[in-house]
């Protein structure tokens, strides 16, 4: 139980460096789960001298959560957090905005990696460090999600040029703030990311 309290301090979705922190957490958890299963199998074998015993059954059942944890670890290993340089530049330009880092939106056909998102009322702007970001597909995907959650008329724009993105952040700071709307949009976005 004490070990799980240590891991409960993991960073939450949308915070800076979330993906890198979550990678470490998932790898450690996976190794721990498989270690417990292996130790149970070895203990049963040493105690009875045979592979067929009750501890082997428990060890096999313990492989189920370990395998699920391994899948999560593999998912996080595929992605990177927002670069330190981009994050420090973005921080200088997003005062007073709802901000979300390391957002990986998954769909049946593609994964959309957005390094940073800023929300102000009905406006969502993001920055992707991938120059080949599929903007049109993403707009359809995220638009449907927001509509299903009752959030209509939300404009979404993703930039792949950091300078243009920081200029847009400064423009967003001057927009009228609707705190409840910004919070609802942020909550929906966080609920559908990895």
pLDDT digits (tens, 9 = 90+) for 69-119: 999 999 999 988 888 888 888 888 887 788 888 888 888 888 888 888 888
Closest CA to 121 of 190, 180, 168: 180
Closest CA to 63 of 39, 28, 32, 37: 37
Averaged pLDDT, 157-176: 85
Average pLDDT across the chain, whole number:
85
Q: Which residues contact 170 (CB under 8 A, 6 or more apart)?
A: 93
CA distance 173 to 169: 6
């Amino acid at each position: 139980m004490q070990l799980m309290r240590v891991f409960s301090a993991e960073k939450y979705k949308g915070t800076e460096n979330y993906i890198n922190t979550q990678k470490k957490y998932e790898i450690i958890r996976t190794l721990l789960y498989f270690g417990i299963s292996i130790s149970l199998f070895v203990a049963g074998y040493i105690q009875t001298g045979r592979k067929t015993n009750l501890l082997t059954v428990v060890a096999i059942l313990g492989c189920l959560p370990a395998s699920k944890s391994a899948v999560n670890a593999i998912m996080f290993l595929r992605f990177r957090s927002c670069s330190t340089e981009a994050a420090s530049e973005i921080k200088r330009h997003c005062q007073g905005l709802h901000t979300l880092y390391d957002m990986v939106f998954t769909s049946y056909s593609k994964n959309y990696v957005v390094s940073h998102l800023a929300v102000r009322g009905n406006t969502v702007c993001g920055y992707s460090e991938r120059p080949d970001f599929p903007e049109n597909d993403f707009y359809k995907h995220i638009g449907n999600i927001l509509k299903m959650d009752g959030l209509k008329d939300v404009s979404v724009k993703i930039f792949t040029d950091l300078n243009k993105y920081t200029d847009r952040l400064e423009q967003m700071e001057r927009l009228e703030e609707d705190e409840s709307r910004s919070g609802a949009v942020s909550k929906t976005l966080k609920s559908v990311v990895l």
